[in-house]
Amino acid sequence: MCEEHKHSHETENHKTKEEEINISIDNANIILAEQNKKIFTKKKIFAINIMGSPGSGKTTIIEGLYPYLKKMVVIQGDLESDVDKKRLEKLNIKVHQINTHSGCHLNANMINESIMDFDFKDIEFLIIENVGNLVCPAGIKIGQVMNLLVSSTTEGTDKPKKYPLIFRDSDMIIVSKYDLKEYVDFDEKEYIKDVKNINGLIPIYKVSKKDNETFKKIAHDIIHKREHMFNLEHKHH
Ligand SMILES: Nc1nc2c(ncn2[C@@H]2O[C@H](COP(=O)(O)OP(=O)(O)OP(=O)(O)O)[C@@H](O)[C@H]2O)c(=O)[nH]1
Ligand SMILES: [Mg+2]
């Protein structure tokens, strides 16, 4: 075998090994995510994974939903710091911090370790704020039953076109910073059209941080999903 071919053969083999390792990491993550899901299901806890760009308004959404989803515990995922944890604790929300350091998304193992010392008594909702990123968290299973994407008007109209994977992977979209849409020339029609092209039936809510009526509506829809999932008696909201 000539040197060039030998070399390319070796790189191919090397690549295959790397791919194999990645596949087994992915599989281990899927198994752990299923375990997490089973733990939550057993306790009738509805686990929501909140995704979105840095600064899109994920923590603000948790603050807005809390008055209507009182029985919640939060896992806060950030590269560094406990800034968001402290923010939520001011409202008396129970928060567990995960710092990924260089990791650009949470994984099932991090969640699994984090819930070891959880007190799940009287908890109905686990809200997981993933690391701010529109790429990495998409498609990663961590034990959630619902992916909530927070997508702000200030990020621009073109986000569904540029980052379709995360839009496809979501079960609900909250268009945040709706109060700022005029200032940033957010083209709502085009945005909604693009989202519907990617994920036809997805519910989309538009919210500004002081819009408690919409937070109430979103919370009630989430409560409904939980009741449905666990076959609970539907309350009249
Ligand atoms: N005008 C306006 N500002 C908002 C709204 N929602 C969030 N903000 C502001 O946007 C900034 C970022 O909000 P956060 O809730 O911290 O965003 P985040 O996605 O949790 O940020 P990271 O955790 O750092 O990724 C804050 O200064 C908020 O006050 C909104 O509806 N309107
Ligand atoms: Mg945050």
Q: Which residues contact 72 (CB under 8 A, 6 or more apart)?
A: 65, 66, 93, 94, 123, 124, 125, 126, 127
233 φ/ψ angles, rounded to the nearest 5 degrees: -65, 130
Residue 207 alpha carbon, nearest atom of ligand 1? 31
Collapse the DSSP code of 224 into the 3-class scheme (helix H, G, I; strand E, B; otherwise coil) and give the result: helix
Give the mutation target among 60, 99, 155 for probing the ligand 1 site: most ligand atoms within 8 A of CB. 60
Atom of ligand 1 nearest to the CA of 178: 31
How high is the pLDDT of residue 35?
Answer: 97
* Per-residue pLDDT, 16: 86
Would you state the pLDDT for residue 95?
Answer: 96
**What per-residue confidence (pLDDT) applies to 110?**
97
Closest residue by Cα to atom 14, ligand 1, is: 57
Q: Give residue 1's pLDDT.
A: 42
R_g of the chain, CA atoms, integer Å: 20
Nearest CA to ligand 1 atom 12: 55
Phi-psi region of 172 (alpha: psi -120 to 50; beta: other; left: phi over 0): beta
Q: How do 46-51 and 125-129 pair as beta strands?
A: parallel
Ligand 1, residue 150: give the atom nearest the CA.
Answer: 19
Q: How far is the CA of 60 from the centre of ligand 1 (A)?
A: 6
Query: What is the DSSP code (8-state) at residue 50?
Result: E
Q: Is 157 helix (H, G, I), strand (E, B) or coil?
A: coil
Residues with CB under 6 A from ligand 1: 52, 54-60, 84, 132, 176-177, 179-180, 208-209
Task: State the ligand closest to the CA atom of 95.
Answer: 2
pLDDT at 237: 52
DSSP SS3 for 76: strand
Per-residue pLDDT of the chain (237 residues; tens, 9 = 90+): 444 444 545 555 677 888 888 888 889 999 999 999 999 999 999 999 999 999 999 999 999 999 999 899 999 999 999 999 999 999 999 999 999 999 999 999 999 999 998 889 999 999 999 999 999 999 999 999 999 999 999 999 999 999 999 999 999 999 999 999 999 999 999 999 999 999 999 999 999 999 999 999 999 999 999 999 999 987 655
Going by DSSP bridges, is the β-strand pair 72-78/146-152 parallel, antiparallel, or unpaired? unpaired
Write down the pTM of the prediction: 0.92
Backbone angles phi, psi at 37, to 5 degrees: -60, -40
Please tell me the distance between residue 177's alpha carbon and the centre of ligand 2 in angstroms. 14
Residue 189 Cα, ligand 1 centroid: separation in angstroms?
A: 23
- Give pLDDT, residue 3: 46
Question: pLDDT at position 22, please?
Answer: 85
Measured in Å, residue 65 CA sits from the centre of ligand 1 at 14
Pick the residue whose CA is nearest to atom 11 on ligand 1. 55
Task: Quote the ligand 2 centre to 210 CA distance (angstroms).
Answer: 17
Q: How far apart are CA 153 and CA 116, in angstroms?
A: 37
- Specify the residue with its C-alpha closest to ligand 1, atom 25: 54
**Torsion angle, alpha carbons of 105, 107, 112, 118, to 10:** 20
**Can you give the pLDDT at residue 18?**
86
